[in-house]
Structure formats: C-alpha cells, structure tokens
A = this chain, B = another copy of it.
Amino acid sequence: MKQQLSVITLPVNDLAVTRRFYCDGLGWQPVFINDEVMFIQLNGLVMSFFHRVAYEQDAGVDYRPGGHTCVLSHNVASPAEVDAVYAEALAAGAQPQKGPAKTPWGGYAGHFRDPDEHLWEIAHNPAWPISPEGYVTCIAPE
C-alpha cells in the first residue's frame, strides 16, 4: 500500500450548512455539490463532505458526531496568519476549541470545530516547508 491519501470523507448533517460555512464563509469553491455530497479539490487530494445517512450506508458504520477521531491541520506561513485564518473561521461560524497559542513543538496553533464538530487546527510549523501549491514536506524533529 503506497503512502497516499486520495480522499478524506467527512460526514455532515446538512449540506446546506456545510456549504454556508466552507463556501460562503471561507471562500472554498466546490467542484460539485448536491444534497448528498460536496467535493473540494485540495492540494493533491480531495475533501468529500457526505450526508451522514449515505456515509453510514457507504462504509457500513455507525457515526458518532464529536468522536474526534482525527484532527485536520491547515498550515500557514506565520503566527500572524494563524491568527487571521482563525478569526476568519470564527467569523464564518466555527466554534472555538483552543485559541491560537505557542505550542510545545516550537510552533503556533489554534483549534476550532466546524458545524459538524469536525476539528481543524490552524498551525504555523516553522520546520515544515509549504510549496506554492500547498504541498507540505515533513521534516524530522531534531
């Protein structure tokens, strides 16, 4: 199995709410949206927001909102940009989880929750380069 993630799918309760937050609020452009699914092109992978009923049928699982089984990090170029994006997310309707602050690993980050309790971290990691296309390179800590 190659070290590749192609699609990340997040269950949501109401695609209209999802669209309002990510598209109207954060300015994201969907490749496709209907009442069941919204596809967003990210840096080398796809984000899929899937209505929870279809999501549960598709994977054959019970979904428990707020289970927090993953954190999605959006890295930016500076602490000031963390503050700006975090404020933008709250203005779009995100719930604050942990406000931006210095981290034990030498960075600066804050966490918020989207309308379906999915956790995002806005982070500045000075050790990990980001290309103009948004591709991130992992560097081992010293």
Cα distance A3–B119 in the bound complex, in angstroms: 16
Interface residues of A in 80-127 (CB under 8 A from B): 85, 88-89, 97-98, 103, 111, 117-119, 121-123
Complex contact B69–A138 (CB within 8 A) = no
Give the contacting residue for A3; candidates B29, B60, B138; CB below 8 A.
B29
- Chain A interface bracket (under 10, 10 to 19, 20 to 34, 35 or more): 35 or more
How many copies of this kind of chain does the complex include? 2
Instruction: Give the distance to chain B from A6, nearest Cβ to Cβ, in Å.
Output: 4
Instruction: Give the distance to chain B from A89, nearest Cβ to Cβ, in Å.
Output: 6
Interface residues of A in 54-77 (CB under 8 A from B): 55, 58-75
Complex contact A68–B73 (CB within 8 A) = no
Chain B residue numbers with a CB within 8 Å of A133 are 44
Cα distance A40–B135 in the bound complex, in angstroms: 14
Instruction: Give the distance to chain B from A50, nearest Cβ to Cβ, in Å.
Output: 8
Known pairs A3-B29, A41-B137; A55 contacts B74 (CB<8 A): no
Known pairs A65-B69, A67-B64; A130 contacts B6 (CB<8 A): yes
12 examples of A-B residue contacts, CB within 8 angstroms:
A3-B28, A4-B75, A5-B74, A6-B128, A7-B75, A8-B73, A45-B45, A46-B128, A46-B138, A60-B98, A60-B111, A65-B67
Supplied contacts A7-B136, A65-B67, A69-B70, 5 more A-B pairs, CB within 8 Å: A4-B134, A5-B73, A11-B69, A46-B138, A64-B69
